[in-house]
Amino acid sequence: MAVFDPATARSRRLRLAVVAVVALAAVATAGAFAADPSESVPEPVRFDDAVELGLSSETDALMAGDATLPRVQVFYSQLQYVVGYNGVASFVDSRRDGRTERQFGYPLVAYVETFDHRDPGTTESGLFSATGAGGWTPVGEARYVVGSDAEGPSGEVVVPFRDGEAAAAFADDHGGSVVGWEAVRTRSFDVDSAATVRSLAPERWRAANERLAAAERRADRPVSVVVGEDAPTIDAAVAAAPPNTTVRVPPGTYDETVTVNRSVTIAGAGSGRGGAETNRGPGNGTETTRVVGNGTGSVITVRAPDVALTGMRIAGTGNRTRDPDAARESRDPEGGTWDTNIQLGYGHGDAGVKAVGAPGLVVDDVAVDTDASGLLLREGSHATATGLLVDGTDEWQEGFMGVTGMESRVTVTDSRFEGGRDGIYLHRADGSVVRNSTFVDNRYGTHLMYTGDALVADNAFRNELFAGITVMTRPAGNAIVGNDVRNSSAGIQASGTRTYIGYNTVVGNDLGFSTSARGSLYEHNVVVDNGLGARATTVVPSSRIVANDFVGNDDHADAGAGALRVWADGDRGNYWEGANVGPRAAGDRAYRPTSPVDGALHRHPSAVAVRESPAARLLDRLRGTVPGARSGSIMDPVPAAAPYHPDRIDAVTGANADDGPVRGDWRSAHGAAGNASVTPSVRPTATAEGAE
Residue 322's alpha-carbon distances to 199, 343, 545, in angstroms, are 38, 9, 39
> What does the pLDDT look like over 88-112, one tens digit per residue?
988 888 877 677 877 788 889 999 9
CA 439 remoteness from chain centre: 17
Q: Is residue 683 over pLDDT 50?
A: no
| Cβ-Cβ contacts under 8 Å for 255 (sequence gap 6 or more) | 292, 294, 316
d(CA 95, CA 139): 14
**pLDDT, tens digit, 9 for 90 and up, residues 570-617:** 889 999 999 887 666 666 688 889 888 777 777 777 666 555 566 555
* Summary mean pLDDT of the chain: 83
Pairing of strands 143-146, 159-161: antiparallel
- pLDDT given for residue 17 in this prediction: 40
pLDDT at position 12: 37
Q: Annotate 445-467 with three-state secondary structure.
A: EEEEECCCCCEEECCEEECCCCE
Kindly tell me if the per-residue pLDDT of 137 is higher than 70.
Answer: yes
Whose CA is closest to 486, among 527, 547, 450, 524? Answer: 527
Over residues 260-277, the pLDDT tens digits come to: 999 999 999 988 764 444
pLDDT digits (tens, 9 = 90+) for 16-70: 343 333 333 333 333 322 234 444 678 999 988 888 876 655 555 555 567 888 9
Q: Please tell me the predicted confidence (pLDDT) of residue 545.
A: 95
How confident is the model at residue 234, as a pLDDT? 98
End-to-end distance of the chain based on CA atoms, in angstroms?
A: 47
| Residue extents of the structural domains in the chain | 38-192
Residue 619: predicted pLDDT: 59
Residue 463, number of CB atoms within 10 A of its CB: 15
pLDDT at position 322: 79
Quote the percentage of the chain above a pLDDT of 70: 80
Q: Look at residue 624 in the predicted model and tell me its pLDDT.
A: 46
Return the higher-pLDDT residue of 464 and 566: 464
Query: pTM for the whole thing?
Result: 0.83
Give the DSSP per-residue string, 617-677. HHHHHHBTTBGGGTTT-EEBSS--SS-S-HHHHHHHHSTT--SS---B-HHHHTT-TT---
